[in-house]
């Protein structure tokens, strides 16, 4: 195969990075500037779409309108001889699965923070995810031109709130509206960004009045870096010259080990400091070779296998993102081992389907470039491949899967109804696409009411998909009230001894099952066969289990799914002629019904972890709001002029919270919400749910 | 029934206090030790005991963020449950969790009027009204008397019980009462003062305010691995 000129093979010069940030910290603007300086785009637009175009990374219309980024598009650029793939990650917690999936394919990340807002609750969530996937990162403190900018405070927060060993590599020359340039503490020069878009970097002497501070900060930087380099330590002790290379090498070592987070500052909007951030990405973040990637060996009980990152080895690749483009389905993949080239044969591990690779492309935002191959360590996209997000592709003969990602169960559902026939067709197309793209988004048809139900991780999550249906698929739908995913479980052990008998006329049915059910925390359903001596013949045991499983889908109490239950059978009886699989399934269902109501069933509801950030004067009001919503306040953190209130609130009470919060705090508070746990519903509420369910049933009938 | 098992084991009862609350209403208690010895751990155990008895605890920390304080509770509760072999701890934990409220301040941002304001916010809206308050990380020096006086007034008015952590320093000269120096400015405000000292591999809890108790109270031992109070009691020398 001929090697393509535009897909070089020097892995040490590849950077697969993500840009993770709190919503509104300027991530999209930053990405836009990066693409501009790396000459991938030739004009600069603003996120909010003042000129009607919108930043290049926000390829979805909806994102443009809301000023937020939802989909993680992968984009490619080159800087200082390095090839950089940028995965633009979403900033809202409702789309966490996308963030997590992106982090899986990254080798390093830039944590963007607002120099005014600092470390906010979403930054904490994103940071935890980075920790989970061991992603080395550097921090970029953006918006230094804004009033109230204070990079030092943000560095302090990085240390205190996120536990990062944050070290400033630069200090600002002036701040807020007076933000002029940056002092680089490694090279000890002042840098200014001239030209219409800051593309000309002018280097100068450090201003006299800043010299002392710069020296002191440089000393701190070198002191921190020396912990990772003997060479640097020796140079300090022997008072030799300390070279830029020495400092960078030491910083790189610390960053790769996640023992240090170098901090870069700037203002993407004002075109300051972005090139220095790109330098830092090239100098400090890891290449694919420096990251250990593991897959699971499905032949050996999912034992982890380290991948070689060698382009000649058999292929292992992960599909991390699907997009419906103008030309059909585009599958973004990261190749971990081997090389996917045009004409290669790969197998989708999940479906077992063999695929011949057709067109390969590299994306930058919504433009694409054809390439010949995607070697290990690279990110690219395939055309016309039928698969779902998170699927693993391998060479024939391998049976490996990339680490299965944690996918939480949905906590909220919504009935949707297409407005007309055309909408009906488009809606099903859209749903098919969304469920493939996002494993936390699911849909099904309720057999009783015949409604289409979509399920997801939060109100906004579902809202965005309904909007996308409208815009991208031209599917007008009406939505019902959001419904909370309640569950039933039992609280005590109950015995059963049930005979299913039908022996009048025709072929008979007979089966007796005895045993008990009890609560368990070890799983949703555990089936334990304690039968000895063949009281129920072995061939009927799977039928018993199936019968119990069928009973779990709808609890006899309120028809919610049942979880956390253990069924043990220890006795029974059969009939030589009349016993059958059917008879034992029916017996199991009967036995379950008999025992269930005696096992003190209760309803559980999803509880969300809600974190509200508000100016201190609204702390009382915020706590009042949460309390009214059956919230249990875990704590209140006073941070000078802002406070953070953390609470656990039932999801059922959180509908419309953003509006209420906005009006109670003059729009100055913001909140994030994520699923925390299931907890028992208080008696009074359970009664109300029962009433609602009864009313609904009556209406349906 | 399980809960009772845990309650009955209030470790401080072993020191001879008659009341489970240890402190009288409006009373002040202090846990003194050098940094990192286990003051917070001891107070969290006291708090857990209060919560298990259905009383509410307001934990004010001037040192740690909410999550970290929460972690102290979770960890010590888990260890307690392991030590006393209590099953079903999740349900029990869920039961007592609403009885705790964590409030954190930055040391420099803390003031008694501010705390009072926050507390009023909670009590007036019926969100939380504590029976006990823990203040972890307040600086005790010659200037802290006015703040402590104001706190005393607040605690008496609201009929609370307040516990403080007090950092002692390496070279502490004990005065005639046996109280370490940092506590001195407000000595008369405190009803109970417990000193944590390392003795070899063990950590001893000494009661400094024996007052009118005829015989010296026994010394309790803290397990340095779990920070839990051990069952066996040494006799004070």
Q: pLDDT tens, A505-559? A: 777 889 999 999 999 887 889 999 998 888 889 999 999 999 999 999 888 878 8
Three-state secondary structure call for residue B185: helix
Using pLDDT thresholds of 50, 70 and 90, give the confidence band for residue A325: low
Nearest to B125 among A624, A646, A679 (CB): A624
The predicted model gives A561-588 an average pLDDT of 90
Integer Cα distance of A609 and A588 in angstroms: 38
In chain A, what residues touch B125 (CB-CB under 8 Å)?
620, 623-624, 627
Q: Please answer yes or no on whether A635 and B109 come within 8 Å at the CB atom.
A: no
Q: Nearest to residue A607, comparing CAs of A405, A412, A407?
A: A412
Three-state secondary structure call for residue A365: coil
Integer Cα distance of A117 and A131 in angstroms: 22
Reported for A501-504, long-range contacts at CB under 8 A and 24+ positions apart, including other chains, are: A502/A583, A503/A578
pTM: 0.61
Say what percent of chain A tops pLDDT 70. 87
Interface of A with B in 603-622 (CB under 8 A): 619-620
Closest-CA distance, B60 to chain A, in angstroms, reads 9
The predicted model gives A230-251 an average pLDDT of 87
Tell me if A547 sits within 8 A of A588, measured CB to CB: yes
Q: At how many degrees (to 10) do helices A230-237 and A244-256 cross? A: 140
Q: Quick check: A65 pLDDT over 60?
A: no
DSSP state of B174: P
SS (H, E, C) A396-419: CCCCEEECCCCCCCCCEEEEEEEC
The predicted model gives A218-238 an average pLDDT of 88
Closest-CA distance, A402 to chain B, in angstroms, reads 32
| Mutant choice from A123, A624, A638, A641 vs B, greatest count of B C-beta within 10 A | A638
Q: How many other CB atoms are found less than 10 A from the CB of residue A7?
A: 18
Strands A108-114 and A137-142: parallel
Query: Which single residue is written with the structure tokens 């003194």?
Result: B32
Integer Cα distance of B151 and B162 in angstroms: 9
> What value does the mean pLDDT of chain A take?
82
Query: Residue A59 has what pLDDT?
Result: 47
b (16+ CB within 10 A) / e for A140-162: bbbbbbbeebbbbbbbebbeebb
CA distances from B66 to A521, A633, B73, B101 (A): 27, 11, 11, 10
What is the spatial order of strands in the sheet that A509-519 belongs to?
A494-502, A509-519, A565-573, A525-529
Nearest to A638 among B94, B101, B104 (CB): B104
In chain A, what residues touch B135 (CB-CB under 8 Å)?
none
Integer Cα distance of A473 and A461 in angstroms: 17
Nearest to B125 among A627, A634, A644 (CB): A627
Integer Cα distance of B195 and A685 in angstroms: 48
Integer Cα distance of A551 and A574 in angstroms: 21
Q: Nearest to residue A331, comparing CAs of A73, A603, A527, A156?
A: A73
Look up the ipTM and state it.
0.80
The predicted model gives A392-396 an average pLDDT of 89
Q: Nearest to residue A545, comparing CAs of A533, A531, A555?
A: A531
CA distances from A122 to A22, A107, A163, A674 (A): 5, 21, 15, 10
The predicted model gives A118-131 an average pLDDT of 71
Residues 6+ apart with CB under 8 A from A163: none
DSSP state of A72: -
> Residue ranges of the alpha helices (H) in A285-408?
none
Q: Of A103-107, A228-232, A369-373, A507-511, which range is least confident?
A: A103-107
Query: Residue A566 has what pLDDT?
Result: 92
Interface of B to A at Cβ within 8 Å reads 65-66, 69-70, 90, 94, 97-98, 101-106, 109-110, 114, 118, 121-122, 125-128
The 10s digit of each residue's pLDDT in A86-123 is 876 655 444 556 666 677 788 898 888 888 888 876 67
Q: Please answer yes or no on whether B97 and A632 come within 8 Å at the CB atom.
A: yes
Q: Which residue has the higher pLDDT, B109 or A572?
A: A572
Q: What is the dihedral of CA B182, B183, B185, B190, to 10 degrees?
A: 170
Integer Cα distance of A325 and A305 in angstroms: 34
Using pLDDT thresholds of 50, 70 and 90, give the confidence band for residue A701: low
Q: Quick check: A260 pLDDT over 60?
A: yes
Query: Residue A4 has what pLDDT?
Result: 42
Say what percent of chain A tops pLDDT 90. 14
Q: Which two tokens stand for residue A533?
A: 């001596």
Q: Does A641 touch chain B (CB under 8 A)?
A: no
Integer Cα distance of B111 and B135 in angstroms: 12
The predicted model gives A598-626 an average pLDDT of 89
The 10s digit of each residue's pLDDT in A423-445 is 888 888 889 888 877 778 888 88
Q: At how many degrees (to 10) do helices A657-664 and A619-628 cross? A: 150
DSSP state of A272: B
In tens digits, chain B (237 residues) has pLDDT values of: 456 666 656 666 666 666 777 888 888 998 888 877 788 888 898 899 889 888 999 999 998 888 889 988 988 888 888 877 776 777 788 888 899 999 998 877 788 888 998 888 888 888 888 999 999 988 887 788 888 899 999 999 888 999 999 887 755 555 555 666 656 567 788 888 888 887 777 778 877 776 555 555 667 777 777 777 776 554 444
Most confident of A291-295, A455-459, A643-647, A666-670: A643-647
For chain B, the first-to-last Cα distance in angstroms comes to 37
Q: What angle do CA A13, A14, A20 make, to 5 degrees?
A: 130
Q: Nearest to residue A30, comparing CAs of A103, A125, A111, A136?
A: A111
Q: Does A358 touch chain B (CB under 8 A)?
A: no
The predicted model gives A48-60 an average pLDDT of 48
Q: Of A57-71, A310-324, A620-634, which range is least confident?
A: A57-71
Q: Which residue has the higher pLDDT, A649 or B38?
A: A649
Q: Quick check: A78 pLDDT over 90?
A: no
Q: Nearest to residue A527, comparing CAs of A550, A499, A548?
A: A548
Tell me if A484 sits within 8 A of A651, measured CB to CB: yes
Q: Of A89-98, A374-383, A512-521, A668-677, which range is least confident?
A: A89-98
């Amino acid at each position: 195969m001929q090697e393509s000129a535009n897909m070089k093979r020097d892995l040490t010069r590849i950077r697969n990075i993500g840009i993770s940030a709190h919503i509104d910290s300027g991530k999209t603007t930053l990405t836009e500037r990066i693409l501009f300086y790396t000459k991938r785009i030739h004009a600069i637009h603003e996120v909010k779409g003042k000129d009607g175009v919108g930043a290049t990374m926000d390829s979805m219309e909806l994102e443009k309108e809301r000023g937020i980024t939802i989909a993680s598009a992968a984009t490619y650029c080159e800087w200082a001889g390095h090839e950089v793939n940028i995965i633009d990650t979403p900033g809202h917690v409702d789309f966490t699965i996308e963030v997590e999936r992106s982090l899986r394919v990254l080798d390093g990340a830039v944590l963007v923070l607002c120099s005014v807002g600092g470390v906010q609750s979403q930054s904490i969530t994103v940071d935890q995810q980075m920790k989970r996937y061991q992603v080395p990162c550097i921090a970029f403190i953006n918006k230094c031109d804004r009033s109230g900018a204070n990079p030092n405070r943000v560095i302090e927060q990085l240390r205190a709130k996120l536990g990062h060993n944050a070290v400033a590599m630069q200090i600002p020359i002036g701040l807020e509206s007076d933000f002029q340039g940056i002092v680089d503490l490694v090279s000890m020069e002042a840098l200014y960004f001239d030209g219409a878009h800051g593309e000309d970097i002018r280097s100068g002497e450090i201003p006299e009045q800043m010299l002392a501070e710069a020296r002191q900060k440089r000393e701190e930087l070198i002191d921190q870096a020396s912990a990772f380099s003997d060479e640097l330590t020796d140079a300090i002790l022997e008072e030799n010259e300390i070279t830029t290379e020495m400092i960078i090498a030491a910083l790189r070592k610390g960053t790769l080990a996640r023992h240090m987070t170098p901090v870069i500052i700037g203002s993407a909007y004002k075109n300051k400091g972005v090139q220095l951030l790109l330098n830092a990405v090239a100098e400090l973040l890891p290449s694919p070779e420096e990251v250990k990637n593991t897959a699971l060996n499905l032949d050996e009980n999912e034992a982890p296998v380290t991948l070689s990152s060698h382009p000649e080895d058999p292929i292992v690749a992960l599909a991390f993102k699907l997009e419906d483009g103008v030309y059909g389905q585009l599958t973004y993949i990261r190749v971990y081992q081997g090389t996917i080239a045009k004409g290669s044969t790969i197998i989708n591990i999940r479906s077992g389907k063999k695929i011949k690779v057709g067109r390969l492309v590299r994306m930058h935002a919504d433009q694409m470039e054809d390439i010949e191959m995607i070697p290990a360590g690279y990110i690219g996209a395939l055309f016309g491949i039928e698969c779902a997000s998170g699927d693993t592709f391998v060479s024939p003969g391998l049976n490996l899967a990339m680490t299965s990602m944690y996918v939480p169960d949905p906590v909220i559902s919504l009935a949707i109804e297409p407005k007309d026939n055309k909408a009906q067709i488009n809606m099903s197309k859209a749903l098919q696409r969304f469920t493939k793209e996002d494993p936390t988004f699911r849909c099904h048809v309720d057999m009783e009411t015949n409604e289409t139900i979509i399920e997801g991780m939060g109100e906004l999550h579902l809202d965005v998909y309904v909007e996308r249906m409208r815009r991208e698929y031209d599917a007008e739908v009406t939505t019902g009230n959001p419904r909370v995913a309640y569950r039933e479980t039992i609280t005590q052990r109950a015995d059963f001894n049930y005979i299913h008998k039908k022996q009048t006329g025709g072929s008979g049915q007979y089966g007796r099952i005895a045993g008990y059910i009890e609560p368990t925390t070890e799983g949703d359903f555990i089936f334990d066969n304690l039968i000895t001596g063949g009281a129920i013949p072995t061939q009927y045991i799977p039928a018993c289990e199936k019968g119990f499983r069928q009973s779990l889908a709808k609890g006899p109490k309120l028809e919610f799914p049942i979880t956390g239950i253990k069924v043990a059978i220890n006795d029974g009886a059969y009939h030589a002629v009349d016993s059958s699989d059917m008879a034992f399934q029916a017996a199991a269902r009967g036995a379950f019904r008999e025992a269930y109501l005696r096992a003190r069933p209760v309803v559980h509801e999803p509880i969300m972890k809600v974190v509200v950030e508000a100016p201190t004067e609204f702390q009382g009001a915020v706590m009042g709001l949460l309390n009214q919503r059956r919230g249990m306040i875990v704590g209140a953190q006073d941070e000078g002029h802002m406070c953070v209130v953390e609470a656990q609130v039932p999801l059922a009470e959180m509908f419309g919270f953003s509006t209420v919060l906005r009006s109670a705090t003059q729009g100055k508070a913001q909140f994030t919400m994520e699923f925390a746990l299931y907890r028992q519903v208080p008696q009074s509420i359970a009664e109300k749910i029962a009433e609602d369910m009864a009313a609904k049933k009556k209406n349906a009938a | 029934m399980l809960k009772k098992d845990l309650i009955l084991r209030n470790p401080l009862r072993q020191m001879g206090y008659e009341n489970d609350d240890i402190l009288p209403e409006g009373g002040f208690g202090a846990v003194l030790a050098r940094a990192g010895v286990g003051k917070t751990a001891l107070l969290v155990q006291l708090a857990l005991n209060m919560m298990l008895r259905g009383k509410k605890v307001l934990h004010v920390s001037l040192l740690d963020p909410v999550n970290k304080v929460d972690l102290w509770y979770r960890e010590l509760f888990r260890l307690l449950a392991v030590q006393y072999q209590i099953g079903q701890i999740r349900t029990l934990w869920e039961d007592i969790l609403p009885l705790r409220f964590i409030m954190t301040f930055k040391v420099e941002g803390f003031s008694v009027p501010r705390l009072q304001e926050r507390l009023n916010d909670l009590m007036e809206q019926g969100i939380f009204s504590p029976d006990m308050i823990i203040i972890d990380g307040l600086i005790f020096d010659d200037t802290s008397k006015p703040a402590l006086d104001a706190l005393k007034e607040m605690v008496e008015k609201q009929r609370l019980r307040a516990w403080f952590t007090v950092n002692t320093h390496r070279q502490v000269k004990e005065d005639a009462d046996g109280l370490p120096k940092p506590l001195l400015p407000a000595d008369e405000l405190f009803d109970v003062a417990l000193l944590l000292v390392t003795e070899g591999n063990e950590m001893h809890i000494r009661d400094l305010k024996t007052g009118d108790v005829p015989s010296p109270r026994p010394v309790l031992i803290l397990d340095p691995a779990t920070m839990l109070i051990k069952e066996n009691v040494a006799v004070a020398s």
